[in-house]
Amino acid sequence: MNFPDRYSLIRQVLKLRDVQKKRKVLPTLEALDGYFSYVEEEEKKYGDAALDLLDQVRLAPPTDYPQDPFSPEYAQFQMKLYHRLAGSSAYHAAQAEQNPLDIKKLRDMPFPYFTQNPRRVADHLLAQSHLIRHGAPEPGSRIVEFGPGWGGLSFKLARMGYEVTLVEICPNMCEFLEYRSKQLNQKVTIIQGGMLEFVPKESYEAAIFFESFHHCQDHLRLLHQVRNMLTDSGRILFGSEPITYFPMPWGVRLDGLSLWAIRRHGWLELGFDHQYFRKALLKSGFGYVFHQDRKYHIAKCVVANKI
Protein backbone atom coordinates (compact mmCIF):
# COMPACT_ATOMS: atom_id res chain seq x y z
CA MET A 1 0.00 0.00 0.00
CA ASN A 2 1.51 3.34 -0.94
CA PHE A 3 1.47 6.47 1.21
CA PRO A 4 -1.48 8.32 -0.42
CA ASP A 5 -3.82 5.29 -0.09
CA ARG A 6 -2.94 4.70 3.55
CA TYR A 7 -3.29 8.32 4.67
CA SER A 8 -6.45 8.91 2.70
CA LEU A 9 -7.99 6.05 4.69
CA ILE A 10 -6.72 7.48 7.99
CA ARG A 11 -8.22 10.88 7.14
CA GLN A 12 -11.59 9.22 6.56
CA VAL A 13 -11.40 7.52 9.96
CA LEU A 14 -10.54 10.85 11.61
CA LYS A 15 -13.58 12.45 10.00
CA LEU A 16 -15.79 9.73 11.47
CA ARG A 17 -14.25 10.32 14.89
CA ASP A 18 -14.92 14.05 14.53
CA VAL A 19 -18.60 13.29 14.00
CA GLN A 20 -18.73 10.87 16.94
CA LYS A 21 -17.01 13.30 19.32
CA LYS A 22 -18.83 16.35 17.90
CA ARG A 23 -15.45 17.87 17.12
CA LYS A 24 -15.41 20.97 14.91
CA VAL A 25 -13.03 21.40 11.99
CA LEU A 26 -12.42 25.15 12.06
CA PRO A 27 -12.05 26.92 8.70
CA THR A 28 -9.59 29.72 9.56
CA LEU A 29 -6.86 30.71 12.00
CA GLU A 30 -9.05 33.62 13.11
CA ALA A 31 -11.77 31.19 14.17
CA LEU A 32 -9.14 29.10 15.94
CA ASP A 33 -7.81 32.09 17.88
CA GLY A 34 -11.34 33.03 18.86
CA TYR A 35 -11.90 29.57 20.29
CA PHE A 36 -8.57 29.70 22.14
CA SER A 37 -9.59 32.98 23.79
CA TYR A 38 -12.81 31.31 24.95
CA VAL A 39 -10.90 28.34 26.41
CA GLU A 40 -8.44 30.62 28.21
CA GLU A 41 -11.34 32.51 29.83
CA GLU A 42 -12.78 29.19 30.97
CA GLU A 43 -9.36 28.21 32.35
CA LYS A 44 -9.43 31.26 34.64
CA LYS A 45 -12.70 29.96 36.10
CA TYR A 46 -12.19 26.21 36.16
CA GLY A 47 -8.42 25.67 36.05
CA ASP A 48 -6.55 23.02 34.11
CA ALA A 49 -9.68 20.96 33.39
CA ALA A 50 -10.84 23.67 30.95
CA LEU A 51 -8.00 22.72 28.58
CA ASP A 52 -9.96 19.57 27.75
CA LEU A 53 -12.12 21.88 25.63
CA LEU A 54 -9.23 22.06 23.18
CA ASP A 55 -10.01 18.48 22.14
CA GLN A 56 -13.23 19.73 20.54
CA VAL A 57 -11.56 21.50 17.60
CA ARG A 58 -8.91 20.90 14.94
CA LEU A 59 -7.82 22.04 11.50
CA ALA A 60 -8.09 19.84 8.42
CA PRO A 61 -4.77 18.18 7.46
CA PRO A 62 -3.21 19.11 4.11
CA THR A 63 -3.31 16.63 1.25
CA ASP A 64 -0.85 18.29 -1.13
CA TYR A 65 2.36 17.36 0.70
CA PRO A 66 5.30 15.89 -1.30
CA GLN A 67 5.13 12.13 -1.70
CA ASP A 68 8.53 11.20 -0.24
CA PRO A 69 8.44 11.80 3.54
CA PHE A 70 12.23 11.39 3.74
CA SER A 71 12.92 14.17 1.22
CA PRO A 72 14.07 17.74 2.00
CA GLU A 73 11.00 18.98 0.10
CA TYR A 74 8.68 17.21 2.52
CA ALA A 75 10.46 18.68 5.55
CA GLN A 76 10.29 22.15 3.99
CA PHE A 77 6.56 21.71 3.39
CA GLN A 78 5.96 20.87 7.05
CA MET A 79 8.08 23.74 8.35
CA LYS A 80 6.24 26.14 6.04
CA LEU A 81 2.99 24.94 7.60
CA TYR A 82 4.45 25.45 11.08
CA HIS A 83 5.56 29.01 10.23
CA ARG A 84 2.06 29.87 9.03
CA LEU A 85 0.47 28.50 12.19
CA ALA A 86 3.02 30.03 14.56
CA GLY A 87 3.03 33.37 12.74
CA SER A 88 6.82 33.26 12.42
CA SER A 89 9.32 33.34 9.60
CA ALA A 90 11.94 31.12 11.27
CA TYR A 91 12.26 28.44 13.92
CA HIS A 92 15.05 28.52 16.48
CA ALA A 93 14.64 25.86 19.15
CA ALA A 94 16.58 27.85 21.77
CA GLN A 95 14.03 30.67 21.45
CA ALA A 96 10.84 28.74 20.71
CA GLU A 97 11.08 25.82 23.15
CA GLN A 98 10.90 27.79 26.38
CA ASN A 99 8.57 27.21 29.32
CA PRO A 100 6.31 30.28 29.78
CA LEU A 101 5.36 29.42 33.37
CA ASP A 102 6.78 31.01 36.51
CA ILE A 103 8.94 28.02 37.41
CA LYS A 104 10.20 29.45 40.70
CA LYS A 105 6.64 29.67 42.04
CA LEU A 106 5.95 26.11 40.94
CA ARG A 107 9.22 24.44 41.89
CA ASP A 108 7.78 22.78 45.00
CA MET A 109 4.71 21.60 43.08
CA PRO A 110 6.05 20.78 39.59
CA PHE A 111 4.11 19.34 36.67
CA PRO A 112 1.83 17.45 36.69
CA TYR A 113 0.97 18.20 40.32
CA PHE A 114 0.38 21.93 39.90
CA THR A 115 -2.50 21.17 37.51
CA GLN A 116 -4.41 19.76 40.53
CA ASN A 117 -6.19 17.63 37.95
CA PRO A 118 -6.39 14.01 39.23
CA ARG A 119 -6.83 12.52 35.76
CA ARG A 120 -3.90 14.43 34.29
CA VAL A 121 -1.61 13.49 37.18
CA ALA A 122 -2.66 9.85 36.99
CA ASP A 123 -2.17 9.71 33.20
CA HIS A 124 1.30 11.22 33.46
CA LEU A 125 2.45 8.79 36.14
CA LEU A 126 0.91 5.88 34.27
CA ALA A 127 2.80 6.79 31.09
CA GLN A 128 6.11 7.00 33.00
CA SER A 129 5.45 3.66 34.67
CA HIS A 130 4.69 2.04 31.31
CA LEU A 131 7.99 3.27 29.86
CA ILE A 132 10.00 1.98 32.83
CA ARG A 133 8.24 -1.38 32.75
CA HIS A 134 8.86 -2.04 29.05
CA GLY A 135 12.11 -0.23 28.32
CA ALA A 136 14.35 0.34 31.33
CA PRO A 137 17.83 -1.20 30.78
CA GLU A 138 19.85 -3.16 33.33
CA PRO A 139 20.17 -1.52 36.77
CA GLY A 140 23.14 0.84 37.03
CA SER A 141 23.16 1.60 33.29
CA ARG A 142 24.04 5.00 31.87
CA ILE A 143 20.98 6.85 30.52
CA VAL A 144 20.67 10.14 28.67
CA GLU A 145 17.28 11.84 28.62
CA PHE A 146 16.59 14.54 26.06
CA GLY A 147 14.11 17.26 26.96
CA PRO A 148 13.42 16.10 30.53
CA GLY A 149 11.37 19.20 31.34
CA TRP A 150 10.32 19.02 35.00
CA GLY A 151 12.40 15.87 35.47
CA GLY A 152 9.65 13.65 36.83
CA LEU A 153 10.93 10.58 35.00
CA SER A 154 14.59 11.53 35.37
CA PHE A 155 14.63 11.50 39.16
CA LYS A 156 12.64 8.28 39.35
CA LEU A 157 15.42 6.65 37.30
CA ALA A 158 18.13 8.27 39.42
CA ARG A 159 16.51 6.87 42.56
CA MET A 160 16.62 3.43 40.93
CA GLY A 161 20.41 3.68 40.67
CA TYR A 162 20.83 4.66 37.03
CA GLU A 163 23.52 7.17 35.99
CA VAL A 164 21.35 9.86 34.42
CA THR A 165 22.41 12.69 32.10
CA LEU A 166 19.81 15.33 31.23
CA VAL A 167 19.94 17.46 28.08
CA GLU A 168 17.58 20.42 28.44
CA ILE A 169 17.41 23.49 26.20
CA CYS A 170 15.50 25.82 28.56
CA PRO A 171 17.74 27.69 31.06
CA ASN A 172 14.92 28.06 33.59
CA MET A 173 14.22 24.35 33.49
CA CYS A 174 17.94 23.59 33.98
CA GLU A 175 17.90 25.82 37.06
CA PHE A 176 14.85 23.95 38.33
CA LEU A 177 16.49 20.57 37.69
CA GLU A 178 19.51 21.67 39.74
CA TYR A 179 17.17 22.70 42.56
CA ARG A 180 15.25 19.44 42.31
CA SER A 181 18.46 17.42 42.36
CA LYS A 182 19.54 19.02 45.65
CA GLN A 183 16.06 18.82 47.14
CA LEU A 184 15.78 15.08 46.43
CA ASN A 185 19.46 14.43 47.09
CA GLN A 186 19.68 12.67 43.73
CA LYS A 187 22.79 13.20 41.61
CA VAL A 188 22.21 13.77 37.89
CA THR A 189 24.31 15.44 35.20
CA ILE A 190 22.56 18.43 33.65
CA ILE A 191 23.58 19.78 30.23
CA GLN A 192 21.97 22.95 28.91
CA GLY A 193 21.58 22.80 25.14
CA GLY A 194 19.59 21.49 22.22
CA MET A 195 19.13 17.85 21.32
CA LEU A 196 21.03 18.19 18.05
CA GLU A 197 23.91 20.13 19.63
CA PHE A 198 24.66 17.63 22.40
CA VAL A 199 28.13 16.05 22.16
CA PRO A 200 28.47 13.13 24.60
CA LYS A 201 31.64 12.37 26.54
CA GLU A 202 30.67 8.73 27.05
CA SER A 203 28.39 6.08 25.58
CA TYR A 204 24.98 5.20 26.99
CA GLU A 205 22.94 2.04 27.36
CA ALA A 206 19.74 3.97 26.70
CA ALA A 207 18.48 7.30 25.39
CA ILE A 208 15.03 8.51 26.44
CA PHE A 209 12.56 10.85 24.82
CA PHE A 210 9.51 11.30 27.02
CA GLU A 211 7.09 13.76 25.41
CA SER A 212 10.07 15.53 23.79
CA PHE A 213 11.10 13.88 20.51
CA HIS A 214 8.23 15.55 18.64
CA HIS A 215 9.80 18.96 19.33
CA CYS A 216 12.88 18.23 17.18
CA GLN A 217 12.92 19.88 13.76
CA ASP A 218 15.33 17.36 12.17
CA HIS A 219 14.30 14.10 13.78
CA LEU A 220 16.08 11.93 11.16
CA ARG A 221 19.42 13.57 11.94
CA LEU A 222 18.73 13.17 15.64
CA LEU A 223 18.14 9.42 15.27
CA HIS A 224 21.50 8.99 13.53
CA GLN A 225 23.29 11.06 16.16
CA VAL A 226 21.76 9.16 19.05
CA ARG A 227 22.69 5.82 17.49
CA ASN A 228 26.35 6.87 17.55
CA MET A 229 26.25 7.64 21.27
CA LEU A 230 24.75 4.28 22.30
CA THR A 231 26.59 1.09 23.20
CA ASP A 232 26.28 -1.87 20.83
CA SER A 233 23.33 -3.19 22.82
CA GLY A 234 21.86 0.29 23.38
CA ARG A 235 18.29 1.36 22.83
CA ILE A 236 16.09 4.43 22.43
CA LEU A 237 12.91 4.71 24.48
CA PHE A 238 10.06 6.89 23.21
CA GLY A 239 7.40 7.52 25.85
CA SER A 240 4.04 9.24 25.29
CA GLU A 241 5.17 10.47 21.89
CA PRO A 242 2.52 11.17 19.20
CA ILE A 243 3.30 8.00 17.23
CA THR A 244 -0.13 6.96 16.04
CA TYR A 245 -2.35 6.57 12.99
CA PHE A 246 -1.49 9.98 11.58
CA PRO A 247 -3.14 11.55 8.49
CA MET A 248 0.32 12.17 6.95
CA PRO A 249 3.59 10.20 7.21
CA TRP A 250 4.75 12.84 9.68
CA GLY A 251 4.19 16.52 10.19
CA VAL A 252 2.66 19.31 12.24
CA ARG A 253 -0.15 18.13 14.49
CA LEU A 254 -3.43 19.93 13.92
CA ASP A 255 -5.43 18.90 16.99
CA GLY A 256 -6.63 21.66 19.30
CA LEU A 257 -4.06 21.22 22.07
CA SER A 258 -1.11 21.12 19.65
CA LEU A 259 -2.39 24.14 17.74
CA TRP A 260 -2.79 26.05 21.00
CA ALA A 261 0.84 25.27 21.90
CA ILE A 262 2.02 26.39 18.46
CA ARG A 263 -0.08 29.57 18.28
CA ARG A 264 0.41 30.68 21.87
CA HIS A 265 3.99 29.54 22.61
CA GLY A 266 5.65 28.85 19.26
CA TRP A 267 6.45 25.24 20.20
CA LEU A 268 7.07 22.80 17.38
CA GLU A 269 4.49 20.01 17.66
CA LEU A 270 5.08 17.09 15.29
CA GLY A 271 3.27 13.78 14.92
CA PHE A 272 4.31 10.50 13.27
CA ASP A 273 2.46 7.65 11.64
CA HIS A 274 3.40 4.16 12.83
CA GLN A 275 4.43 3.01 9.35
CA TYR A 276 6.67 6.02 8.72
CA PHE A 277 8.23 5.89 12.20
CA ARG A 278 9.10 2.22 11.78
CA LYS A 279 10.81 2.97 8.45
CA ALA A 280 12.66 5.95 9.92
CA LEU A 281 14.04 3.77 12.71
CA LEU A 282 15.07 1.02 10.31
CA LYS A 283 16.87 3.54 8.10
CA SER A 284 18.72 4.73 11.22
CA GLY A 285 19.72 1.22 12.30
CA PHE A 286 17.04 0.42 14.90
CA GLY A 287 14.36 -2.18 15.38
CA TYR A 288 10.82 -1.19 16.38
CA VAL A 289 8.66 -2.61 19.17
CA PHE A 290 5.46 -0.80 20.14
CA HIS A 291 3.97 -1.36 23.60
CA GLN A 292 0.40 -0.19 24.11
CA ASP A 293 -1.65 -0.78 27.24
CA ARG A 294 -4.97 -2.36 26.25
CA LYS A 295 -6.99 -0.31 28.72
CA TYR A 296 -5.18 3.03 28.98
CA HIS A 297 -4.36 4.72 25.68
CA ILE A 298 -1.95 7.15 27.34
CA ALA A 299 0.30 4.25 28.37
CA LYS A 300 2.30 3.62 25.22
CA CYS A 301 5.95 3.53 24.28
CA VAL A 302 8.31 2.47 21.50
CA VAL A 303 11.48 0.55 22.31
CA ALA A 304 14.05 0.83 19.52
CA ASN A 305 17.06 -1.49 19.82
CA LYS A 306 20.22 -1.10 17.73
CA ILE A 307 20.47 -3.64 14.93
Structural domain boundaries of the chain?
92-257+272-305
pLDDT tens track for 197-245: 999 999 999 999 999 999 999 999 999 999 999 999 999 999 999 999 9
pLDDT band, residue 1 (cuts 50/70/90):
very low
The whole-angstrom separation of Cα 27 and Cα 215 is: 26
pLDDT value at 60 more than 90: yes
Closest CA to 216 of 196, 235, 191: 196
CB 55 within 8 A of CB 256: yes
> What pTM does this model have?
0.94
Tell whether the torsion through CA atoms of 7, 23, 55 and 77 is positive or negative. Answer: positive
pLDDT tens track for 164-174: 999 999 999 99
Q: What is the pLDDT of residue 5?
A: 80
Q: What CATH code would you report for 92-257+272-305? A: 3.40.50.150
Task: Give 8's contacts (C-beta < 8 A, 6+ positions apart).
Answer: 63
pLDDT tens track for 250-285: 999 999 999 999 999 999 999 999 999 999 999 999
